Amino acid sequence: MSTQQKTILRDLGNGLVLRRSTPEDADALVEFDTGILGDNEADKQRLAAWIRDLLTRPHPTFSPGNFTIVEERSSGRIVSSLTLIPQTWTYEGVEFGVGRPEVVATHPDFRKRGLVRAQFDEVHKWSADRGDMAQAITGIPYFYRQF
């Protein structure tokens, strides 16, 4: 069984599978996410460096399996992804766990199929399993309220 087969979370139907990332996904995720989210070359370079760091370098709270990937089975290509970054926040001296969804992207040909919703359902479970008190999105608030 391949590493990617071991990371499968569930079959989404229509030839798509939801799985966890591995360090081996770094190049494919960089290519996918920068292609969808990079507005200019400087943005693409910053995003690429961040994704590579998250997946391949030691991090105090993040593990290489913290990205969700929706993959097309027939081609193996990534069609949607997001990540959940575990953080510890403090309010009035009280520390609590927070899951921070980031780097949310879907290929235009695969939008409006519920792929981001399926990934958010999964990362909500991850946060609950860790005992996070909240999830915080620092991106586009009006868009993410639906999730």
pLDDT at 147 exceeding the cut of 70 = no
CA 122 to CA 16: how far, in whole Å? 15
Task: Convert 29-44 to b/e letters by CB count within 10 Å (16 or more is b).
Answer: bbebbbebebeeeeeb
pLDDT per residue as tens digits for the range 7-61: 899 999 999 999 999 999 999 999 999 999 988 999 899 999 999 999 998 888 9
pLDDT per residue as tens digits for the range 107-127: 999 999 999 999 999 999 999
pLDDT per residue as tens digits for the range 56-75: 988 889 999 999 999 999 99
Rounded mean pLDDT, 92-102: 95
